[in-house]
Amino acid sequence: MLDFDEKKFEEKTLSREEIFHGKIFHVVRDIVSLPDNTTSFRELVFHNGGVAIAPVRCDKMILVGQYRKALEQFIFEIPAGKLEVGEELNPQAAALRELEEETGYKAENLIEISAFYGTPGFSSEKTYVYFSSELTKIKHPRAADVGEFLEKVEVTLPEAKEMIATGQISDAKTILAIWYWEIQQLKAEVEKNA
């Protein structure tokens, strides 16, 4: 860990104006005091966070496709969703819920790939990403969220990489999960040949 005085970079909030308070996130505009004693403003999005899970069965990753209005585009992603209030204490349970709702599977032996802030310049959203290759089909899974229309597909690693190249997969959490999957396959191959 780097040793430096991070306090000298702190931006102190002088005032805060709430711009929008919605179901998923809220937006504020802060006036801040900068380290050089000047002031500036920051537009911030506060979000409870999200979870995602990369499910692999029979050497294929399960993806869900859906129309993303912010992009005006249909893309494929690993199963994911937002953390409800209180779920930040157990994001694994939330990831398992999303997996069941979106694919009809349950997973054992979750491995945390990463927990990251996608856009820390303006958003507090932290996403927890998990991996599992131990999946079991559920006879009567939970229903998908109201208003959620999904297309489930299963793809090989070469197919997933091609989908990244063509833009069918374009979100960070899914690309991260596919890279992790590729590294795990390369490690297994090296161990097998050792």
Q: Can you give the pLDDT of all 194 residues of the chain as single tens digits?
A: 788 888 889 999 999 999 999 999 999 999 999 999 999 999 999 999 999 999 999 999 999 999 999 999 999 999 999 998 888 889 999 999 999 999 999 999 899 999 999 999 999 999 999 999 999 999 887 777 777 789 999 999 999 999 999 999 999 999 999 999 999 999 999 999 98
In this structure, are residues 46 and 26 in contact, taking their beta carbons and an 8 Å threshold? Answer: yes
Q: What is the pTM of this model?
A: 0.91
Closest CA to 97 of 129, 134, 51: 51
Rg of the Cα atoms in the chain: 20
Q: What is the pLDDT, as a whole number, of residue 147?
A: 76
Q: Which two tokens stand for residue 116?
A: 């990251």
Q: Is the alpha carbon torsion for 69, 146, 155, 133 positive or negative?
A: positive
Closest CA to 79 of 50, 38, 58: 50
In this structure, are residues 118 and 32 in contact, taking their beta carbons and an 8 Å threshold? Answer: no
Domains belonging to the chain, first-starting first, are 6-47 (no CATH), 50-193 (3.90.79.10)
Closest CA to 123 of 33, 42, 15, 177: 42
User: How far apart are alpha carbons 76 and 67 in whole angstroms?
Assistant: 9
Closest CA to 50 of 123, 110, 108: 123
Closest CA to 76 of 61, 59, 98: 61
Place of tokens 């959620």: 148
SS3 content of the chain, % helix, strand, coil (to 5): 25, 40, 30
Place of tokens 């297309």: 151
First to last CA, the chain: 34
Return all residues near 186 (Cβ < 8 A) that are at least 6 apart.
Answer: none
Return all residues near 15 (Cβ < 8 A) that are at least 6 apart.
Answer: 30, 31
| Helices (H) then strands (E): counts for the chain | 3, 12
Q: What is the pLDDT, as a whole number, of residue 5?
A: 86
